[in-house]
Amino acid sequence: METRITELLQIKYPIIQGGMAWVAEHNLAAAVSQAGGFGLIGAANAPAEVVREEIRKARELTDRPFGVNIMLLSPHAAEVAQVVIEEHVPAVTTGAGNPEKYMEQWKEAGIKVIPVIASVALARRMERCGADAVVAEGMESGGHIGSLTTMTLVPQVVDAVKIPVIAAGGIGDGRGFAAARMLGAEAVQMGTRFVVAKESIVHANYKERILKAKDIDTEVTGQSHGHPVRGLRNQMTREYTRLEKEGATFEELEYLTLGSLRRAVMEGDVKKGTVMAGQIAGLISKEQTCGEMLEEIMKEAEQLLCQK
Ligand code: TUI
C-alpha cells in the first residue's frame, strides 16, 4: 500500500510507532523499522547524549530508516533538536508543543518534520512553517492528549491542509487502519499495540495490564492543570484524582508523579506507577513480534479496503 507517507519516509507499510517515553527505545524502534514500518526513538525527558546513544544502538540493529520523537516540554529539547541533525536522523516527530523554532534548522539539514497536533489550527500553522506531514492525534491515545476524538479530528485536519495526515489515537488493528484511511489519513501511528510487542523492553507487569485491560479501564488525570494524561486506572490514578478534587497545586501533583512512568515501565510497579495506555488497550490481547503485528494489520486492512 503506497501513500505519500510511505514515499516520504521510504517505508513498506504506512504504520508509524508512537514515540512513547521510556517505551520507545532502540530495540523497539529498530524492530518496527526492520518489519517495514517506521520506528521512533522517544526522546521524552532524556538528555541529548542518551538520545545520541539510542540512535547509534538502533543503527546497529537495522539498516532501515527510523526517526526520533522530541517531547517539547523536555528541558533537553533544544539539545536533542541539535543531536538529530548531527546524527543525520531522516525524520523527526514532535509532541506536547509547537516545534516552530526548530523547523528552519531541521529543514536546512534535510530532516522530514512531522509534528503531532491535536487541533486544526496547529495543523495549519505547521503546514505554513514547512512541516512535511502531521500526526493528528485523538484523545483516545495514551499519554498527554488533546480534547478531540480521532474520528472528528482526522477528517477536519485532512480538509484543512494539503500535506499528508497520519491518524493516531484508538488504532490497534486492521479495522482501525482501514477506518483511518477512510477518514483521509495516509498512514497511522500506533502506540499501545507496540507496547506489548515481543521486542518491547517494557516490564511484563505493564504488558500484562494492557493485555488484560477492558474497554473502560483508562482514565484521564491532570485536566485541572492543563496537562491531561491518559493511562490505566490504578492506585496512582485514584490518589491523583482524589488530590485533584481536593484542589492540590500543580507542584503537589507533579511531585506525586515524579519518576512514576519509569517505575511502571522499568520496574513493573503497575500499582503506584503511571501506566500510560490508550483506550484501545481493551482490544489488545496478544504479544507478537512487530513483524507479525504489521503483517496481520496490513492483511486485514487490505481485505477491508478492497471489498466492493
Ligand atoms: O506528546 C504526546 N504524548 C505524550 S508526551 C508525554 S510526556 C508528558 N508527561 C506528562 C505531561 C506532559 C507530557 C506523554 N505522552 N502526544 C503528542 C501530542 N501533542 N498530543 C497533544 C499534543 C499537543 C498539545 C498541545 C501538541 C501541541 C499543543 O499545543 C501547542 C501550542 O503551543 O499551541
140 and 251: one domain? no
Pocket of ligand 1, candidates 74, 98, 120, 144: which has the most ligand atoms within 8 Å of its Cβ, to mutate? 144
Full residue range of the structural domain in which residue 17 is found: 4-199+289-305
- Predicted confidence at residue 258, as pLDDT, reads 87
Number of domains in the chain: 2
In order, the DSSP letters of the chain are: ---HHHHHHT-SSSEEE---TTTS-HHHHHHHHHTTSBEEEE-TT--HHHHHHHHHHHHHH-SS-EEEEEETTSTTHHHHHHHHHHTT-SEEEEESS--HHHHHHHHHTT-EEEEEESSHHHHHHHHHTT-S-EEEE-TTSSEE--SS-HHHHHHHHHHH-SS-EEEESS--SHHHHHHHHHTT-SEEEESHHHHTSTT----HHHHHHHHH--TT-EEEE-GGGT--EEEE-SHHHHHHHHHHHTT--HHHHHHHHTTHHHHHHHH--TTTS--B--GGGGG------HHHHHHHHHHHHHHHHH--
299 CA to middle of ligand 1, Å? 32
- Predicted confidence at residue 13, as pLDDT, reads 98
Residue of minimum CA distance from atom 5 in ligand 1: 144
30 and 77: one domain? yes
- Predicted confidence at residue 308, as pLDDT, reads 57
pTM over 0.95: yes
236 CA to middle of ligand 1, Å? 21
259 and 183: one domain? no
158 and 275: one domain? no
Low-confidence stretches of the chain (pLDDT beneath 50): none
The CATH number of whichever domain residue 88 belongs to comes to 3.20.20.70
| Residue ranges around ligand 1 (CB below 6 Å) | 21, 44, 71, 73, 95-98, 116-118, 122, 137, 143-146, 227, 229
25 and 45: one domain? yes
260 and 185: one domain? no
76 and 21: one domain? yes
